[in-house]
Structure 1
Amino acid sequence: MGGHFRIVASVLPHSLVADTGVVLARYCLNWSGNPRPLDCNFSIVRVCVCSNFTLMSTVFINVGQCGNQVGAQFLDSLCDDKNGAFSGLLKGTDGKLQSIHVDSESKVIKKILSSDLSRSLKRDAIICGKRGCGSNWGCGYHRRDLLDQTLEVMRTEVERCDVYSGCLIVHSLCGGTGSGLSSRLVEALRDEYPLQHIMNIAIAPHWTGESPLQQYNSLLCLACLQQNSDAIMVFNNDIIFHTLEEASGQSARGEDRGFSDQELNSVITSCISGCFLPVNGQVTFSNQPWELFQSCCPMPDLKFLTVCQQVSQRPHTSWLEISQSLTRKVAGSCSGRIPRTVSALAVARGHTGHAFHSNFDKISSRLKSDLGCTHWNPFPLDFWVDLYGNKAKRKSLTVVLNSDVMAKYISRVSEEARRKFLVKAYMHWYVQYGCEENDFEQAFHTLRKVVDNYEYFTTPNLQ
């Protein structure tokens, strides 16, 4: 391991940050790779280390109407960033975004092409079909035309990367293209690039949605992602809607005006940015999604993640107040209960000065307690801290949870889909595209194992 390395996103003093040839991550490593205990009188969190010559080689894939709306809003926020955080993130050597946009219909794609974002996109990386998938997983899964085009564009993007590390796929769990095509695409990418990472950012629909097929679609998609993806970050529209109600005070006033798709997508975009934007305006491991796996996915059977974020526009708001507001928001998304968390990652951003470091032990203890971190994991909570970056007044604390929250959602989806499956409701809509009853039985079995594993590893008495 050679080259000049620098320590970023840590609570370390300047004297240690300036040192070269040392990588700190709960302990020191010397150049020979032998561990050496770290003797310091302050708390150490996981630190992010980056090489001066390492560039991110991740491809961003947006699938379906929802995936393209969320993905385009996220990419547009990167292009509009004035703090330099966009430098190197999802950007190829040609100055264009390493982004692929796929949809079976042209409605959303046309809006993207007519926006300012289109100047940063490659036209040959935009794929648009001529007919929709009718909110049917089976139709999207068997759309060979879209799959072949996407894989061909993907090969081109991979060839443009110096070292291809993996892909981020944004899609919904409900739509035919978002759930079906993304499922088939993940399988194909796993076969084509078995050693590279795959991470999905999936948007779960409102429970009382418009399509009677959404539980089937979610069931089949989640089972496929469990078998082929490295991590699945899920955003639930119902929880996001509740968050916006609380933030606007509608719940207290008893109002119900509703929120637009753009408002819902803005919350998702902000959470994604909180997780993956560079620290201190530099390309680091913290904006490599794969570093997140190490913090949040301790075992391959537990890889469903949820995200919660607390933002304060007031410069004098303390980090303890922000962490308290965040844990209340997490409890609200769990119907008022404390989740049972296997592992978690907290990302603090803003002009923190030394305030975060001085309160780190209190913040860490509160988060571990209020997030219900398990006792068997000796390091259940990691931190990425943008200590000296972003001198704007805005502060944010984003937490990524691997907890039983998703297990309960998966269980609910499976139960509702099972009730329909037992009476063969809507099954003919899937059979006409080549799906079989065995596909559903395997999906039920796969997700049952997921729920069982979460129930076992989040048991309070497990040591």
Structure 2
Amino acid sequence: MTTLCFPFFVCGYCVHGPRHEELVVDIVRRKVERCDRLAGIMAMMSVAGGTGSGVVTYATHCLRDAYPNSFILNHLTWPYDTGEVIVQNYNSVLTLSHLYQLSDAILVHKICAQPMNIKHISFSDVNKVIAHQLGSVLQPALTGDSHGVYNRNPIGELISGLVCHPEYKLLSVCNIPQVSSSSMAYSVFTWSGLLKHLRQMLIAKAKMDYYFSGINWQLRAPSLQPEGVERTKSHRRPGFNTSLANLLILRGKDVNSAEIGGFQDPTLYTPLLPTDETFSMWKTPVPFNKYEKSATLVSNSQALLRPLDNMMGKAWNMFASRAYIHQYTKFGISEVDFLVSFTSLEQVISSYCLLWTSKILFGYD
């Protein structure tokens, strides 16, 4: 059995990206010229390498230069904890660190197979799940209260409402319900049940297939860990998920009867922002896909802190032993470039950790 270790990101970013730069920019320019106005650009990609991460990162760089005043949203599919690409953590570090300098927001998607009862995941299954979640966010909806207007620029409004500072660009998305087609006939959903479940997922930083024993639903802050612990020990993970800002999107029957007070609880949020800027809601009575009622939460929070910290730890351990570094240096990515990327993402992790340390400092315990 052969282990795949080709540095896909660097090959895409340093070779294939520049080779196709003119073509990509020209295709986007022609699309933009047909628009009445450019609402924004969304690039879809994986971060592990082998699926265009390097090419799309380079394309994002080109589009940022071509359209400096337009919103750019990068939608990323997060890699498996382990995979067939042994350098996927290197690729992820390089991809994320570059995008953090280029994109206005990074919407991260993690695929969970259990809720959909998928035995063997195919590309078609992945595409369906991604399309469902993106559709639940980007389909038209009323902004504000029941007398609001339909959003005309969902990407712009999404970024403006959730990304208040360039240090906080990581957005996660949760959509419920997600059940297999065979279970739909036996499933009944209520707004109270959906929103209670979605709030628990927000607090626990969990997707639908993770249920932790002993979760502290009362939102009591953890104690600070001592300094000097190795970064691979993940000593900086808080005990619950603190949010900077959240967007709740409700679609379906009797949407105006949904009680959303649980998402306006100030203990969910860092005190760094005014309370009226931490939560927003879109809604529409039009059902989405095959669900009579559905709820989506787009969150700028610590939900990605654990997977990001784990990925950084694995990449750093490999880098410390100089594993596969020669595969990157021959394409022009030096060890200094790696160190700059590590430093950039360490700063991102530290900034997101401040969301819960600030709660302790301000007395939200």
TM-score of the pair, normalised by structure 1: 0.62
Deviation at 1:335, TM superposition (A): 6.6
Contact 2:6–2:327 (8 Å) recurs in 1 = no
The 3 A distance-change label for structure 1 pair 258 and 371 is farther
Contact 1:279–1:286 (8 Å) recurs in 2 = no
Unaligned ranges ≥5, structure 2 = 143-148, 179-183, 216-239
The 3 A distance-change label for structure 1 pair 327 and 259 is farther
TM-score of the pair, normalised by structure 2: 0.77
The 3 A distance-change label for structure 1 pair 149 and 329 is same
Contact 1:275–1:287 (8 Å) recurs in 2 = no
* Alignment map for 1:4-403 (pairs within 5 Å): 136-142=8-14, 143=16, 144-236=18-110, 240-241=111-112, 244-246=113-115, 248=117, 257-279=119-141, 284-285=150-151, 288-311=154-177, 317-330=189-202, 331=204, 332-333=206-207, 336=212, 337=215, 338-352=240-254, 354-356=256-258, 360=259, 363-365=260-262, 367-369=263-265, 372-377=268-273, 378-379=275-276, 380-386=278-284, 388-390=285-287, 394-403=292-301
- Please say if 1:405 is aligned against 2:279: no
Deviation at 1:247, TM superposition (A): 5.2
Show CA shifts across 1:260-307 (max 9, x none): 332233222211111101127xx9426521100122112111010111
Partner amino acid, structure 2, of 1:296: L
Contact 1:327–1:370 (8 Å) recurs in 2 = no
Partner amino acid, structure 2, of 1:373: Y
Could you list the structure 1 runs, at least 4 aligned residues long, displaced by more than 4 angstroms after superposition. 312-316, 368-371
The 3 A distance-change label for structure 1 pair 342 and 273 is same
Contact 1:327–1:371 (8 Å) recurs in 2 = no
The 3 A distance-change label for structure 1 pair 147 and 461 is same
The equivalent of 1:458 in structure 2 is 356
The 3 A distance-change label for structure 1 pair 318 and 160 is same
Deviation at 1:157, TM superposition (A): 1.7
Deviation at 1:374, TM superposition (A): 2.5
Contact 2:48–2:91 (8 Å) recurs in 1 = yes
The 3 A distance-change label for structure 1 pair 207 and 160 is same
CA distance in 2, matches of 1:149, 1:446: 30
Equivalenced residues, count = 311
Structure number with greater CO (CA < 8 Å, separation at least 6) is: 2
CA distance in 2, matches of 1:461, 1:310: 31
% identical equivalent positions:
28
CA distance in 1, matches of 2:292, 2:300: 26
Partner amino acid, structure 1, of 2:249: V
CA distance in 1, matches of 2:167, 2:211: 25
Show CA shifts across 1:196-230 (max 9, x none): 11100000111111001100000000001111100
- Please point out which of 305, 311, 317 is paired with 1:419: 317
CA distance in 2, matches of 1:414, 1:441: 12
Show CA shifts across 1:340-363 (max 9, x none): 11111000001225422xxx3xx2
